[in-house]
Amino acid sequence: MTKESTFAHLGRPSRIPETPDAETLDRAPNPHADTDYVARFAAPEFTSICPVTGQPDFAHLVIDYAPDKWILESKSLKLYLASFRNHGAFHEDCTVRIGKDLAGLLQPRWLRIGGYWFPRGGIPIDVFWQTGKLPDGVWVPHQGVAPYRGRG
């Protein structure tokens, strides 16, 4: 994990890593560290591989966090998330791992991730993880992903 504000990817040609590695992620100093607010990243086309069948799994990820000293650099997040495309892991593992990797890097006041997985085998699985305490008075919108209802 890049610990300083020198970026491994921003402004440079970058390739998608072969495997998910938290070292891919970059952070920058929060220019409003004295202010409580929430930032959101949405990844509506997240993919990984089922570790048993090798079939692709698809999810809509929503990541909300209340930064403290650090904010997340978005290009590094895109590369990190894309690296899961060839990674075999269950839905729960992918969702919680991403949350823990981001929390470890950013040390935010609060972070939550919602993994809204599309059904395979007829069962959708939604996975939620959070850490920290949401600062008082901070507005957090609904994650905006409807529960899976099938065709109708």
- Burial environment of residue 150 by CB neighbours within 10 A (0 to 12, 13 to 18, 19 or more): exposed
Contact 33, 109 (CB under 8 A): no
Contact 50, 88 (CB under 8 A): yes
Contacts of 152 (CB under 8 A, 6+ apart): none
Alpha helices in the chain (DSSP H): 74-82, 91-106
Contact 105, 98 (CB under 8 A): no
- Catalytic residue numbers read 50, 57
C-alpha 144/C-alpha 9 separation (Å) is 30
Going by C-alpha positions, the residue among 105, 107, 110, 100 that lies closest to residue 132 is 110
**Six-digit token pair at 124?**
């959708």
